[in-house]
Amino acid sequence: MLDSIVSSAQLFLGRQPILDRNQELVAYELLFRSGTHNAAVITDGDGASATATVIVNAFTELSVGDALGSCLGFINVDEEFLFSDLLELLPMQSVVLEILETVPATEAVVQRCRELKEKGFTLALDDVIQVSPEYKELLDLAEIIKVDLPPLSREDLIKLAEKLKPLNKKLLAEKVDSREQMELCMSLGFELFQGYYFAKPTIIAGKKLNHSQMALMRLMNLIHSDADTVELETAFKPEPDLTVNLLRMTNSVGCGCTVRIASLRHAITILGRRQLQRWLQLLLFASKNQSGTTSPLLHLAATRGRLMELLAATLRRNDTNFADGAFMVGIMSLMPALMGLPIAEIIAPLGITSEVHDALCEGSGPLGNLLAVVATTEYGTPADISNAMANCPGLDNETLNRCLTQALTWASNINREADN
């Protein structure tokens, strides 16, 4: 029997991005797991109570609510958790209660959902594949309906969308894994999307980082490689927009500089390597794709980079080179999906270090092991997370969860800065 009090150290925290029609990140489905079980399926003994405690602890001890920023957090709710008093301790403005398909539409369940909605919670129904009469009241109460795509044929999906449309609910397409599915769902009026599609090269075939984005990557690598100021200056010169922005930023009052900057070399020296690196990270994160919106894949890559940097700094204190290399691995690990090119081809002109190369191309070495851990927080199982952490001595659940929350907070703050 599970103990009714579960600490954050026993918590596996994962997240899956949810995008809107503009392919901008608007929410995460937060995956809370206790031990080797998914929170959604613990039903023995005090399991549901323990899982509820874990989730509430995550929002208090780990400040997950703050880490979400303007994004919502979708949380799976089974029947036992639905009736738990702990549920009402969650920040209603930050979460969406995702009622699982295993929850029966009993009178008591409907009444409980009505109470939660009256208190201000947003409700979603999970894995909807048909409109059943017994679920009519729950459908009326829910603001978001998650449609599970794999069991549905194209014809079934079209028919289901036609039945759901008159309800005037937000439709979320779940487990989208191809461009064709995405486009079909958009044509049917779906507003939200979740799945692997954005991480597959086929969805963005033909898209490549623009010239400025490649320049940012090249400059970041030069800093990581401890290139001299002359090399940095040379790399900036073909990028007039970056040069002007650098000079403006260095001359701004916010940088605390009392001497006017007139040259690139002077600006680089005054700003300092660390600040310059952070500025480039911000610019890359804020880069717009061809539709004029921030790429959700770059958002995820930036979060990966920051998470790896935090973990590296924890594992090897005072080793800034290791932490900087970890950031590079994290942020570049999703570039094959973004560019539709093999990673070896992408990094060939960048002259990266052997440690970063081996981590990206072979998944080997300390940085490769760290990347495996970070990847499992997105779509892995609890067993996957445990197995990956076994290759990173000194890393435990509590550290991983704390760093993940900090990385999400950082990405949220950067996103706000980029929008200003």
Question: 211-419 has which fold?
Answer: Hypothetical protein af1432 (1.10.3210)
The predicted structure's pLDDT at residue 258: 56
The predicted structure's pLDDT at residue 203: 29
Tokens 């690990």 sit at which residue?
333
pLDDT above 80 (res 54): no
Mean pLDDT, the chain, rounded, equals 76
The predicted structure's pLDDT at residue 48: 55
Exposed/middle/buried for residue 93 (C-beta within 10 Å: 0-12, 13-18, 19+): exposed
N residues, the chain: 420
Name the band, by pLDDT with cuts 50, 70 and 90, for residue 405.
Answer: confident
Per-residue pLDDT tens for 317-335? 988 888 878 887 887 887 7
The predicted structure's pLDDT at residue 9: 43
The predicted structure's pLDDT at residue 26: 86
Question: 171 pairs with which residues across the strands?
Answer: 145
Give the sign of the dihedral formed by CA 333, CA 146, CA 294, CA 63: negative
Per-residue pLDDT tens for 234-244? 877 766 667 66
The predicted structure's pLDDT at residue 392: 92
What CATH number does domain 8-195 carry, 3.30.2130.30, 3.40.50.150, 3.40.50.11890, 3.20.20.450? 3.20.20.450
Write out the two tokens for 153. Answer: 């044929």
Name the band, by pLDDT with cuts 50, 70 and 90, for residue 294.
Answer: low
Least confident of 5-9, 212-216, 303-307, 376-380: 5-9
For residue 139, what are the CA distances in angstroms to 105, 144, 170, 173, 326? 10, 9, 11, 16, 45
**pLDDT: is 321 or 308 the higher one?**
308
Per-residue pLDDT tens for 151-160? 999 999 999 9
Per-residue pLDDT tens for 188-206? 999 999 887 654 433 233 3
Name the band, by pLDDT with cuts 50, 70 and 90, for residue 46.
Answer: very low
pLDDT above 80 (res 371): yes
The predicted structure's pLDDT at residue 331: 79
Exposed/middle/buried for residue 37 (C-beta within 10 Å: 0-12, 13-18, 19+): middle
Classify residue 199 by its DSSP letter. Answer: G
Q: Could you tell me where in the chain the CATH 1.10.3210 domains are found?
A: 211-419
Per-residue pLDDT tens for 272-283? 877 787 677 666
How far apart are the two ends of the chain, measured CA to CA in Å?
50
| Alpha helix stretches (DSSP H) within 120-238 | 136-141, 154-164, 179-187, 211-224, 229-236
pLDDT above 60 (res 164): yes
Question: Rounded to 5 degrees, what are φ and ψ at 173?
Answer: -85, 120
The predicted structure's pLDDT at residue 168: 92
For residue 198, what are the CA distances in angstroms to 23, 192, 262, 321, 334? 9, 13, 42, 31, 10
Per-residue pLDDT tens for 116-153? 999 999 999 998 888 888 888 999 999 999 999 999 99
Q: Could you tell me where in the chain the CATH 3.20.20.450 domains are found?
A: 8-195
Per-residue pLDDT tens for 28-43? 888 765 544 443 333 3
> Contact 412/70 with Cβ under 8 angstroms?
yes
10-17 average pLDDT score? 66
